[in-house]
């Protein structure tokens, strides 16, 4: 699988998980707003997280590394104004995404 094919597969996977996450009727308004208004940014970071977790391509930055390493305090300290509200989404993404999609 070449880089553009990999990116497209991961983009679809992250979008699928965003849609599933948004189905939660108890999702706080702030999280729902961030996922809706900043979706492309969230998708990009989600792709970086999956690539980092699965050791594909270039590892992500400090926030991506912290979430991928399951380091809560570092995740919060390195999150920007968008990502600090949706760390739970990224954790669920990493836990639920199936690495077989890239094979």
Q: Domain locations in the chain?
A: 3-98
pLDDT of residue 34: 87
Which whole-number Å values give the CA distances from 97 to 11, 28, 88, 89, in the listed order?
A: 12, 22, 14, 12
Q: What is the pLDDT of residues 31-62, one digit of tens each?
A: 898 888 999 999 999 999 999 999 998 899 99
pLDDT of residue 103: 79
Q: Write down the pTM of the prediction.
A: 0.92
Q: Identify the CA nearest to 49 among candidates 96, 2, 103.
A: 96
Confidence tier at 86 by pLDDT (50, 70, 90): very high
């Amino acid at each position: 699988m070449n880089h553009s094919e990999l990116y497209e597969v991961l983009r679809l996977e992250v979008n699928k998980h965003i849609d599933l996450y948004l189905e939660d009727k108890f999702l706080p308004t702030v999280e729902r707003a961030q996922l809706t208004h900043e979706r492309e940014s969230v998708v990009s970071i989600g792709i970086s997280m999956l690539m980092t977790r699965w050791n594909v391509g270039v590892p992500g930055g400090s926030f991506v590394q912290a979430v991928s390493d399951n380091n809560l305090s570092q995740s919060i300290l390195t999150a920007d104004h968008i990502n600090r509200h949706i760390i739970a989404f990224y954790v669920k993404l990493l836990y639920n995404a199936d690495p077989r999609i890239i094979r």
